[in-house]
Chains A and B, each alone.
Chain A
C-alpha cells in the first residue's frame, strides 16, 4: 500500500479549503497571499513559512494526490491540466500543456531538471541589465533546490524511446547527455504526466506544499484569482471566484485574501492575466509581452523492434548539439528530447484521420518520437507572444510563428528524421498535415524540404510557457526587478516562469525553483526584518 502524504496531512488537520464547497464568501487575512502552487508558489510558500510568515495559497485547480492518480489520460487531462490539455494559442496553431492542480505543472511534468545555461544568463545580463544574475550568484540556490528535491542523475538504463535518440545521434557524431530527474525511489513506470502514483516524483505536491501546510499555511483550492484590488501603488486585497467541483464554472461565491504582500505564481499565462485584469500600471507596455514557448515540433518514427514509449522514465536523454552550433542570437537553435507516448496524446497529435491514421496507431508499440524545442526570444526577430483577455476575462496567448521560427522548424524536422533513420527507423513521419511516412533519409530530406511550413499544417506544441512579467534592471525593459518585485506595485512580487526575459533553452522547472528560492528568501528577510534562515 502506497502512503498518500496528502490524505495523511488532511487527516492530521491541514488547513485546506475546497472552494467549490463554500456556501458563503470566505475572507482570509495573512502575511502573504501566494497565487498558484506550482514551481514558484510551492517554493515561495515553503520559504516564507520557514521564516515564520503566515501564508495563504490560492490554487485554481483541485487538490489531487497519489490515491487519485490512476495513470489514465481520460482522468488526468480534465482534472490536472489547464483547459483539459486543450489550451491553445489565439490562432489555435500551438497546443499548450500546463498543469492546473495543486503542485501546478510540477504535478504533471516529466521530471526533466536542468540549470539555466550560462549563455542564457549572459544574454540577460547583456540585454536586460540583470548583472546580479551570474552563475556564481545562482549556484548555491541551484544546489539547495537540487538537494531539496532529490535532483540527480538517473542511473537506470534509458527506455528504448530515449535510447534510440542516443544511438541515432551517436551514429551521426551528435553528442547527447543524460537528463537529471527530481525523483526518489522511482518505479520507472512512465506515467509522470498523469500525476505520480507512487509519490516518487519530488513535485511541489509532495515536498514544499506539505512542508508549508505542516507549518500552518492555509490552502484554498478550486478558486480562480480574478484580480488584485489596487490602491495608491499597492495591492489591498486578492479577489477570487470559487469554481464548481469540475473547475469549469464559477459558483458565485467569492474568496478574498487580505495580505501585507502578494506573490503571483500562476504561470506565464496566468500571472500576467491577473495583473491585466487588475489594471496594474503598465507605463512601458511590457506586461504580458515577450511570452516564450520553446515552440516544439515533432517527428514520429516506426522502428522494427518494440519501443513501448509509454513505459519507463519519460525523458532521460537530450541533445544540445543544435543549440550550440552558432551564436545564441543567430538562427534559432533547438534542443532534442524524446517524449513519453500515450494513446490520447499520441492519437490527437498525429496528423490525418481515417484509415491512414488508424494504420499509424496500429504501429503504436513500435513508435519512436523525437521533439525539437526551439529556443525563442534571442534572435532579434523572435519577440514571442502576448497575453490578452477574452471577453469573459480568461487569458489567451497570441503567438506569431514568424519566418525565423519556420526556418528553424525545417532544420529541426530534418535533423530529427536523420537521427531516426540512423537509429534504424523503417519509416519517419514529421507531424505535419501534408507529410507522408518516408522510407529513407533521402526521401525524407526531399519531402521535408518541400513541406509548406504554416500554422495549422505543422503541428506545434509547447509545455514551457515563459515570460510576460519579465525581469530587467528598469521598468522600460521589464515588469519586475531581478528580485521579482513589481516595478510599480510596492507589495507585489512575481515568482514563476513569467519572469524570464527570454526562453531558457532548457526545461524550466529547476530554474524556477532556484530563482524563486533566492527571491522568496530575500522577500522573507524583507518582511520579517531578519536574515533568511539557512535552509528551507
Chain B
C-alpha cells in the first residue's frame, strides 16, 4: 500500500497532522466519488478550496499576475478535474488541510484567515514549505507551485508578458 508507506516514509509528522485535523479521509474522498458518479463535471473544488487557492495564487504569481484572478482558480479547478483519481484525492486533501483552522494555523503557520492573509504572509508560508525538513510539506509546496504556475502559463493571456506569441498557423 504505497500511499500509507509514503506517509510513513516521507513525513510522519505531516501524516499525523493530517489525521489530527480530521480530514485525511471523509470529505475529499466523498467529493471524488460524487464527481465520478456525475456526468462529466468540470469542477471538483469546493468553495473553501477555491478560497485557499485565491489567496495562495497571487503570492505564487506575484510579478506575473497583476491582481487576484478568479478565472485562474477556475483554470486550476479544470486541471484538477483532469487528474487521475489518486492525484485528485491528494490535491483535495492538501486544500482541505490548508482550509482547516488547525491546518492553516499550525501546519501552514498562517495566522490570518485566507481571505485576509497578506501576500507576504502567504509567501513566507510557501517558502517554509519549499525548504521544509518534512518531505510531505515540500511535496505540498510543489503541488501548489505546479498547479498554479501550470494553470497560469497555459492561458494565452499570460504569454505577452513572457514574449511568447503562441503557436504558429498550420493549415
Contact = CB atoms under 8 A, between A and B. Distances in A.
A475 interface: no
Interface in A388-427: 388-392, 394, 396, 398
B139 interface: yes
Nearest to B148: A353
A354 interface: yes
Nearest to B140: A92
B153 A91 contact: no
B79 to A, nearest CB: 7
A358 B2 contact: no
Interface stretch (A68-76, A212-220, A436-444): A68-76
Contacts of B150: 344, 347-348
A347 B153 contact: yes
A455 B135 contact: yes
Contacts of A347: 149-150, 152-153
B171 A1 contact: yes
A357 B64 contact: yes
A230 interface: no
Interface in A232-280: 244-246, 248-249
Interface string A84-100: 10100011100000000
B85 A249 contact: yes
B170 A246 contact: no
At the interface, is chain B mostly helix, strand, loop or mixed?
A: helix
Contact of B164 (A310, A392, A457): A310
Interface stretch (A148-156, A359-367, A499-507, A513-521): A359-367
Contact of A86 (B59, B83, B163): B83
Contacts of B84: 83-84, 248, 394
Interface residues of B, number: 51
A391 B3 contact: yes
A123 interface: no
Given A90-B6, A249-B36, A73 B154 contact: yes
Contact of B145 (A353, A364, A365, A391): A353
B59 A354 contact: yes
Interface in A308-337: 310
A197 interface: yes
A456 B63 contact: no
A189 B150 CA distance: 22
B25 interface: no
Contacts, number: 147
Contacts of B152: 347
A433 B131 CA distance: 8
B170 A456 contact: no
Contacts of B167: 70-72, 189, 191
Given A353-B59, A456-B138, A198 B170 contact: yes
B106 interface: no
B101 interface: no
A346 interface: yes
A90 B170 contact: no
Contacts of A86: 83, 87, 146
Given A78-B79, A249-B36, A354-B123, A359 B146 contact: no
Contacts of B153: 73, 343-344, 346-348, 361
A127 B138 CA distance: 39
B23 interface: no
Nearest to A341: B164
Contacts of B87: 83-84, 86
B82 interface: yes
A248 B85 contact: yes
A2 interface: yes
Contact of A91 (B10, B59, B83, B168): B10
Contacts of B40: 244-246
B108 to A, nearest CB: 15
Contact of B86 (A73, A197, A392, A457): A392
Contact of B142 (A187, A388, A456): A456
Contacts of A344: 149-150, 153-154
Contacts of A197: 170
A355 interface: yes
Contact of A2 (B61, B79, B159, B171): B171
B82 A91 contact: no
A91 B6 contact: yes
B1 A391 contact: yes
Contact of B135 (A2, A359, A456): A456
B158 interface: yes
B164 A348 contact: no
Contact of B64 (A71, A90, A352, A361): A361
A520 B124 CA distance: 57
Contact of B139 (A73, A398, A456): A456
A399 to B, nearest CB: 12
B62 A355 contact: yes
A106 B169 CA distance: 23
B147 to A, nearest CB: 9
Nearest to B58: A354
A193 to B, nearest CB: 12
Nearest to A398: B2
B23 to A, nearest CB: 18
Given A72-B167, A86-B83, A364-B162, 17 more contacts: A71-B167, A73-B153, A74-B155, A78-B82, A83-B83, A84-B79, A90-B2, A246-B40, A343-B158, A343-B162, A353-B126, A355-B63, A359-B63, A362-B161, A394-B85, A434-B131, A457-B131
8 contacts: A72-B167, A92-B142, A246-B81, A248-B81, A248-B83, A344-B150, A348-B150, A394-B84
